[in-house]
A and B are shown apart, each in its own frame.
Chain A
Amino acid sequence: MADTLDTVITEGKALPLGPYPRIVTKDFEVPGIDRIEVYRQHGGYAALAKALRDIPPDTLAEEVKKSGLRGRGGAGFATGVKWGFLPKTAPKPRYLAVNCDESEPGTFKDRMIMEVSPHLLVEGTILAAYATHVHHAFIYVRGELAFAGRQVERAVREAYDAGLIGKDILGSGFDLDVTVARGAGAYICGEESALMESLEGKRGYPRLKPPFPAVVGLYGGPTVINNAETVSTLPAIVTLGADAYTAYGTEKSKGTRIFCLSGHVERPGNYELPLGTPMRVLIEDFGGGVRGGKRLKAIIPGGSSTPFLLPEHLDTPLDFESVAAAGSMLGSGGVIVLDEDTCIVAAVLRMSEFYRDESCGKCTPCREGTFWLVQLLERLEHGEGKASDLDLLNDICDNIAGKVFCPLGDAATSSIVSSIKLFRDEYLHHVRAHGCLVGPGARKH
């Protein structure tokens, strides 16, 4: 395990990695690790071979349950438990869909996995399929990630050629086909049921639940949907064993996780750290602190869908429970740092535009509400708002959150509600001074 500050090359940009134990990304700086020979030279596909040879599928699933692995897609649901929802028998074939749609603002870890070490993803996919008795897996890659998509497609081809996908894999009798599908540019298609619609060639609208995908999913068959990082963790769990894996992390948040550090820090990038690592370590030790020695203003700890935290939360351990206790969510692991010069209203406006534009339009509150919210934030940001707009924003958010069809709509309200709570004065300054408190648009009374 690497224990020095290393870097990894992704699309020519040097990304620092930490001195903490790395188990998923351990070989990411090996040149050529994206090719099957190099990947195998570094122990790649050994976990698969071991599993196929020594571990029956149900035992493997049990092992994953024991590892405490929780989904890395955002909700943090225990992976082994989710697999357990699959019915024992079903009239239709069961499927695995690996969610590589990664579109949450502030999140770019799945992209790195696909671009740097696509075989890790493929090996994890095969292991997940094996453990869940699936014979056809789909890897759904976000449309905009053209390079990542090509890397995954090539890795799958190489794996087919090497007999690691296809019939009777490594003589185990296990058959698996893997299809790589590319999205067409919609955030909502990362939501598991919209992803299935998209895979089926339909418009990306989320589906009604129940039935849940584990029961009626892709093409009507029972379906497991796992995040790219989730499956990419499986080889490490097989290699180390569940017990060793649980040595990392906290009691309820086991193992390591790749945090995507972005915003106003010296060294933005992906850092694999044990869950429970204090946010300060990530931002200050790995990220080099706030850029240009500025003061920290706010942190969004889990992608744009999660509420703001304040500098006082810097020592919050990055695990599901602690971040929730601090009033936010660990979400997709996208830690966004905002410095003192950031206009909160502008930042919230920008994020709200994202949700307005990415709302699928299926349900009324999200479709219409985000449209309204953006207009109100726009006028506040431009100094044309009213003080009563804050209550109106809050009430619109109340009419959205918990009333929408899928979590996208809820997510659209997180930054607004939390920022009005934490930065009310800054909003009011916009009303009173007809301009921003800080940043290029700053205006005093």
Chain B
Amino acid sequence: MAEQPREDLVNLTIDGRPVSVPKGSLIWAAARKLGIEIPIYCYHPKMEPLGACRMCFVAVEKMPKLATACTTVVTEGMVVRTDTPAVKKGRQGTLEFLLINHPLDCPVCDKGGECDLQDFTLRHGPGGSRFDVSKRHFAKPIPVSEQILLDRERCIACQRCARFCQSVAMEDGLAMQERGFRTEVGVDPAAPFDSIFSGNVVEMCPVGALTAKSYRFVSRPWELKKTGSVCGLCSVGCNVRVDVRVDKVLRQYSRPNDDVDDGWLCDRGRWELDAINSQERLRTPLIRKDGLLQPASWDEAMRLVAGRLREIAERDGPGAVGGIGSTHTTNEEAYLFQKLLRAGLGTNNVDHHHGRFPAAAPGAVLPWAWTDSIAGLERASDILILGADPYHRQPIVDLRIRKAIRAGARVHIVTPEPNRLDRLAATVLRYTPGHTGEIARALLNVVTAEGLTRGEFAAQRAATVEARRASVANDTPEQVAETAGIESAALRALARDLAGAEAAVILYDEMATREPSGATLAADLLDLALLTGNFGRPGAGVGPLMEDNNSLGARDMGLLPDTLPGYRLVADQDARAALGAVWGATLVGEPGQTYEEMLGGGVKALYVLGADPARHLADAQLTHLNGFEFLVVQDMFLTETARRADVVLPAVAYTEKDGSFTNTERRVQRVRQAMQPLPGAKADWEILVGVARALGLSWRYLTPAEILSEIGRTVPLYAGASRRALGELGACWPLSPGARTPEGRPTVSGSPFLTWEMFERGVAPSGVSGATGAAGPELAVARGREE
């Protein structure tokens, strides 16, 4: 963060202590900087000041009345006091008022122990009440949604919930109803509260008025062990606090990281934690004996896995074994998995289920990741959502898009199905499912055919632009309208909008690339961004919204048959040599088999880690899974695939181990162990270390942190990564080592957005070093188009 210029700072004193804060700051924020608590209810730092609850009184010199710290902007030389008798009386008065109608049912309130009404009453309130008349009563909790209950007697009418629904989520939901002392929160019966963001109101509610069904009467807050971590449910990677009671995860709360989640969580991340607490989880290794999977010891199972893999590799060559990795496990585990196959078994047969991104080729550029960031959306003038559904699949990205809309962005929704953002969009276009690729080409067609290319990149590459024009010459909107059933005139207008946009972000779903028409979708959209100048600055960019919590990390870590960690080609002699030296192995230069090839029977022994390929196979193909000579599955559950395995190794959930995930905006973030591993199961990295040892490899990793440090040393994209350097908030790759903090902690600096120059320098995943060669960087499609 840049230093604030001095003239933009305002100096004031609070309780006699000087403080400087940026112009426009509220007294509340200035006091917070000094560590002075000013109690608040209605104010929420992510929403506009409201001034309703009258809790945050302070005395400001020369102001006749008490001021509300949440609405009063600091001025130069301001003298603020938070400790005068008048301030105390004001705050006590408000608390006394709030308590007159409060049921005081703290002993049976889920919020008790983490309730601002309790806490502020203790710290700022009157010790007693003079209220000796009748309280207002309401029927005790009423459901306001499937998951949330409302106790109107506990409500202090701070409006946080209603304002969240209206102004942050911009969805129907809670609203203030009635007036005066009859004020209550409620829902419009005609507009049910079914937002995926609903749970935020439970967390924001300063009292126990809004409670989650799933947490009701389940625990007292002080019984919870709270661990800062990252949510493992989708590719956004919201920062969370995992709240565990004994051996159960009860909920995830937000651990605000403004760059990622802006302090919000979706209901999936908050509540859909059943898998972790499931009774169905595997608690012991299983080995197939007499045709049945039977409990076995870890020692026996790991020995068997190592022995059989080695045996088959020696008998039929390393190409006879292969591994399918996971989009859920940590970077450390993905890294170890491919290392086990490459260095331990001598094969590049490693892959995972992923989107279709054009393969690496010399000179090609492969930023198959979002080139901008989640926070960057706020700076976009236009956002195109093509064939994606962030509301359901990456909800907190959807929420950020809503914030961008409030900041003035125009959103263009081009999807087969109705989208939750339609109501707020500038453009809404529908098309026949499966045709996303054609739409991308039609956009490119308009931009090139109408001469709408913009920016230096296009200006310097007339020949490439011409080649690109020719390659999509037939993909006119009118043509695509025929096949994809989309409105051609609107599509044409959209292309022009993108070309004329101040800063556009183009987002598509990773899995849209797997459609029949999607082979070049990623490349076409990257080119669209490059040719329209929507690249290389915040608020402009392009990229896939990834499927799972570590879909991008899996790629980064080399769970691909043709690339080593950090997208260096296996064919790259230098890269192989460098890694081989660290790993103490000679690496193979031939690309290995793909996911489909291995599952199609290309290997005799298959090691499946944290994946369930049976889900992606047609019934007819399922028999392939029975055809392997040796199938190992490492998973939390006895999946369809695991049922067919020879050995099943029980793994633990992300809440039970340390490590890191890389989210859809390239942010590498630490995941922390929040609970004891399920007895009988082990973390994937631990299992891999055990198997490697059984294979005779001298792996000595004792903690995931050691693995991450090795990644930080060997993978240029993750240069400098370590448990300590990633800190609380993580950083977006490409990473580079930063200066140490005064306390001596190492740091890394990240790249919130990718620039063209990064590829020229070869810092970003530029396929091969040839990117800086004589030809210079070219359009993605020009070289690397074919799979």
Contact = CB atoms under 8 A, between A and B. Distances in A.
Interface residues of B, number: 36
B204 interface: no
A405 B96 contact: no
A364 B53 CA distance: 5
B93 A359 contact: no
B49 A371 contact: no
Interface in B550-567: none
Contact of A364 (B49, B94, B131): B94
Given A358-B180, A364-B54, A364-B94, A402 B100 contact: no
A347 interface: no
A368 B101 contact: yes
B180 A403 contact: no
Contact of A375 (B66, B96, B133): B133
Nearest to A203: B176
Contact of B97 (A186, A365, A379): A365
A403 B179 contact: no
A404 interface: yes
A369 B97 CA distance: 6
Given A208-B71, A364-B52, A399 B156 contact: no
A399 B133 contact: no
A62 B529 CA distance: 57
Interface in A289-334: none
Q: Which one of A372, A402, A403 has the greatest number of beta carbons of chain B within 10 Å?
A: A403
Nearest to B180: A359
B209 to A, nearest CB: 14
B52 A363 contact: yes
A70 interface: no
B51 A361 contact: no
A261 interface: no
Contact of B156 (A364, A371, A379, A398): A364
A371 B66 contact: no
B66 A403 contact: yes
Contact of A372 (B49, B52, B97): B97
A90 interface: no
Contacts of B176: 203, 361
A25 interface: no
B130 A392 contact: yes
Interface residues of A, number: 30
Contacts of A371: 100-101, 136, 180-181
A151 to B, nearest CB: 28
B180 A356 contact: yes
Given A208-B49, A367-B181, A372-B133, A402 B65 contact: yes
Name the prevailing secondary structure of the A interface residues. Answer: helix
Nearest to B184: A361
A359 to B, nearest CB: 4
Nearest to A400: B93
Contact of B133 (A358, A361, A365, A376): A376
Given A364-B94, A399-B96, A372 B53 contact: no
A234 to B, nearest CB: 33
Interface in A370-394: 370-372, 375-376, 379, 392
Contacts of B55: 364
A360 interface: yes
B180 A360 contact: yes
A276 B753 CA distance: 71
Interface string B157-181: 1010000000000000001101111
A357 interface: yes
Interface in B60-96: 65-66, 71, 89-90, 93-94, 96
B183 interface: yes
B183 A367 contact: yes
B180 A404 contact: no
Name the prevailing secondary structure of the B interface residues. Answer: loop
B183 A372 contact: no
Contacts of A369: 97
Nearest to B94: A364
B371 to A, nearest CB: 33
Given A208-B71, A361-B157, A402-B66, A367 B90 contact: no
A368 B181 contact: yes
Contacts of A362: 52, 157, 159
A356 B181 contact: yes
Q: Which one of A367, A376, A404, A405 has the greatest number of beta carbons of chain B within 10 Å?
A: A367
Contacts of A360: 179-180
B98 interface: yes
B460 interface: no
A346 B159 CA distance: 34
Contacts of B183: 361, 367
A405 B133 contact: no
B179 A368 contact: no
A348 B180 CA distance: 18
Contact of B180 (A203, A367, A376, A379): A367
Interface in B597-646: none
A403 B90 contact: yes
A357 B130 contact: no
B57 interface: yes
Contacts of B97: 364-365, 367-369, 372, 399
A367 B101 CA distance: 11
Interface in A166-204: 186, 188, 203
Q: Which one of B54, B98, B134, B182 has the greatest number of beta carbons of chain A within 10 Å?
A: B54
Interface string A200-234: 00010000100000000000000000000000000
B571 interface: no
B441 to A, nearest CB: 40
A392 B100 CA distance: 14
Contacts of A404: 54
Contacts of B50: 208
Contact of A399 (B89, B179, B180): B89
Contacts of B51: 208, 363, 405
Contacts of B98: 364, 368
Given A368-B101, A392-B130, A403-B66, A361 B94 contact: no
Contacts of B175: 203
Given A371-B136, A392-B130, A361 B96 contact: no
B131 A372 contact: yes
A402 B54 CA distance: 11
A295 B53 CA distance: 45
B717 to A, nearest CB: 45
A202 to B, nearest CB: 10
A368 B90 CA distance: 14
B101 to A, nearest CB: 6
A220 to B, nearest CB: 13
Contacts of B181: 356, 359, 361, 367-368, 370-371
B47 to A, nearest CB: 12
B123 to A, nearest CB: 17
Nearest to A361: B183
A370 B181 CA distance: 8
A201 to B, nearest CB: 13
Contacts of A368: 97-98, 100-101, 181
A405 B179 contact: no
Interface string A329-343: 000000000000000
7 smallest beta-carbon distances between A and B, as pairs: A399-B93, A361-B183, A368-B97, A371-B181, A359-B180, A375-B133, A361-B179
30 contacts: A186-B179, A188-B179, A203-B176, A208-B50, A359-B180, A359-B181, A360-B180, A361-B182, A362-B159, A363-B51, A363-B53, A363-B54, A364-B52, A364-B53, A364-B54, A364-B55, A365-B54, A365-B94, A367-B181, A368-B97, A368-B98, A371-B101, A371-B136, A375-B134, A392-B130, A399-B90, A402-B65, A403-B54, A403-B66, A403-B93
Given A356-B181, A363-B53, A372-B133, 17 more contacts: A186-B179, A208-B50, A208-B51, A359-B180, A364-B157, A365-B54, A367-B180, A368-B101, A375-B133, A375-B134, A379-B133, A392-B130, A399-B90, A402-B65, A402-B66, A403-B65, A403-B90
